[in-house]
Amino acid sequence: MNNTHHNITIIVADITTLHVDAIVNAANETLLGGGGVDGAIHRAAGPELLEECRGLGGCATGEAKITAGCRLPARYIIHTVGPVWHGGGRHEAARLAAAYANSLRLAAAHHVRSIAFPCISTGIYGYPAKEAATIALNTVRDTLPQCPSIETVIFCCFSEEDAEIYRGMCSWTA
Ligand code: ADP
């Protein structure tokens, strides 16, 4: 993906370690913690994150809410909820796209310049990795023009296999 105004990068890392304005959490609708990246973020951010999340009243699938980064190097955490994969017939693609788009818009509303996404829904929620990566890349490309503050988007994969999927798609999406 090549956009002269935005820097889009694909890395393999633990998202909790990144020095960016905002990281995105693949949360569940309760926003009260879970496994996978959600658990890692709560562990690294500390108990004050759970305290702040308790006041948010949960988050519907496809929506996004924001908290402080607490003990993370990131200033903000954008909590979004991707869809559980049920085979593709339950609006999973639209809901996954909404999770990416609403996260970006909320970040832009807070003047975020750099943001990192995990591979939302592709862990416990079972979304096929290639289909999810296509939606992630296309939705970010299509939503960034509405988000003037955002200069850098990082796709923070947790495995080299996921990063290869994104790299392969970027070359033909560009
Ligand atoms: P979901 O419930 O949305 O599927 P998961 O947390 O189970 O969320 O998985 C989403 C993605 O996050 C998976 O690709 C998983 O490998 C990845 N992941 C897990 N821990 C981390 C972490 N610390 N940093 C970045 N990505 C992570």
* Ligand 1 geometric centre to CA of 120 (Å): 7
Q: What is d(CA 149, CA 56) in angstroms, rounded to the nearest whole number?
A: 25
The pTM score is 0.96
Identify the pLDDT of residue 172. 46
At 170 the pLDDT is: 80
Strands 64-68 and 76-80: antiparallel
pLDDT tens track of the chain, all 174 residues? Answer: 444 568 999 999 999 999 999 999 999 999 999 999 999 999 999 999 999 999 999 999 999 999 999 999 999 999 999 999 999 999 999 999 999 999 999 999 999 999 999 999 999 999 999 999 999 999 999 999 999 999 999 999 999 999 999 999 986 444
pLDDT score of 68: 98
Residue among 38, 72, 158, 165 to mutate when testing ligand 1 (max atoms within 8 A of CB): 158
Give catalytic residue positions: 38
Q: 107 alpha carbon to ligand 1 midpoint, in Å? A: 20
Ligand 1 lining (C-beta closer than 6 Å): 14-16, 26, 36-38, 40, 82, 118-125, 156, 158, 162
- Structural domain boundaries of the chain? 7-169
CA of 66 to the centre of ligand 1 (A): 18
The ligand 1 atom nearest the CA atom of 40: 23
Question: Which pLDDT does position 171 carry in this prediction?
Answer: 65
Q: How far apart are alpha carbons 129 and 6 in whole angstroms? A: 24
CATH class of 7-169: alpha beta
Distance of alpha carbon 8 from alpha carbon 131, whole angstroms: 19
What is the pLDDT at residue 5? 67
